[in-house]
A and B are shown apart, each in its own frame.
Chain A
Amino acid sequence: AQKVTQAQTEISVVEKEDVTLDCVYETRDTTYYLFWYKQPPSGELVFLIRRNSFDEQNEISGRYSWNFQKSTSSFNFTITASQVVDSAVYFCALRRDDKIIFGKGTRLHILP
């Protein structure tokens, strides 16, 4: 079965704190892609990152970083020095064939 689990439904942190959003996935495919999307209140899903199954290098983009570990089927997302503008719902997702399977999302509140 293809499945994405985001166990954290909602997280609140104070601005400037670091926060990690967890993602665990299940797939029988040997080649697959993982994604993170951000959904602000406007509703639009904003692409953050894609990672393929052959590339386990961690990635950093500004305050964002991602930790991909095939051994534990996890693809966690860390925001360093969080800002109020980071408040949104974040989705982890897995591509299967021509569709994307999303987790249920983690609602992140950054408190000023």
Chain B
Amino acid sequence: DAGVTQSPTHLIKTRGQHVTLRCSPISGHKSVSWYQQVLGQGPQFIFQYYEKEERGRGNFPDRFSARQFPNYSSELNVNALLLGDSALYLCASSLDPGMSTGELFFGEGSRLTVL
């Protein structure tokens, strides 16, 4: 069975540009979360979506936005990129937003470098 898949795996952008990252959850999972992991730090929560509705948002500026599609896949968009946005962006899926199964299943991430 396919796990959580993310694309692209690596990308390089320059300051001020825009980026879109994509995520496909595990089949049957309706909740998708996004995390940002800066080098040397633990992942930080950005968004959670469930049934196409935003369920939670972390402490990130409005330059960060996301959405979830009817097939439960998700996009993370970041506008006006800053050098500090360079990070590994991780997508995770779960059956439900409360993670009643106890697990978030993570993808391998999209590594964004902003020059």
Contact = CB atoms under 8 A, between A and B. Distances in A.
Interface residues of A, number: 23
A4 B41 CA distance: 12
A91 B111 CA distance: 19
B108 A98 contact: no
A44 interface: yes
B106 A99 contact: no
A46 to B, nearest CB: 8
A91 B48 contact: no
B17 to A, nearest CB: 23
A37 B43 CA distance: 11
Contact of B99 (A4, A42, A98): A98
Contacts of B44: 102
A93 to B, nearest CB: 8
A91 B56 contact: no
Nearest to B9: A43
B109 A44 contact: yes
A90 to B, nearest CB: 10
Given A42-B108, A44-B106, A50-B102, A97 B43 contact: no
A42 B106 CA distance: 12
A46 B105 CA distance: 8
B107 to A, nearest CB: 7
B82 interface: no
Interface in A23-65: 33, 35, 37, 42-47, 50
A45 B48 CA distance: 17
A100 B104 contact: yes
Contacts of B43: 45, 91, 100, 102
A43 B111 contact: yes
